[in-house]
Amino acid sequence: MNNKREIWIERIQDYKASSLTAAKWCEENGLNINSLRYYIHKFERTGI
């Protein structure tokens, strides 16, 4: 499970470093925008 967390942390960092909207970044990376938003919110609440 720790590996999944690390993957999402990297994805969020990549998204935030891009100049793309969440929708466009997810489209280009083959991810669901709701998943991205979920993990951003989850990690913000836990202080990551």
pLDDT at residue 48, as a whole number? 65
pLDDT at residue 46, as a whole number? 82
Q: How far apart are the first and last CA of the chain?
A: 16
Q: How far apart are CA 19 and CA 4, in angstroms?
A: 24
How many domains are contained in the chain?
1
pLDDT at residue 2, as a whole number? 80
- Which stretches of the chain score pLDDT less than 50? none
pLDDT at residue 23, as a whole number? 98
Q: Give the range of the structural domain holding residue 27, as residue numbers without chain letter.
A: 2-12+19-46
Tokens of 18: 């891009």
The CA–CA distances, whole Å, from 2 to 10, 11, 18, 20, 43 equal 13, 14, 25, 27, 13
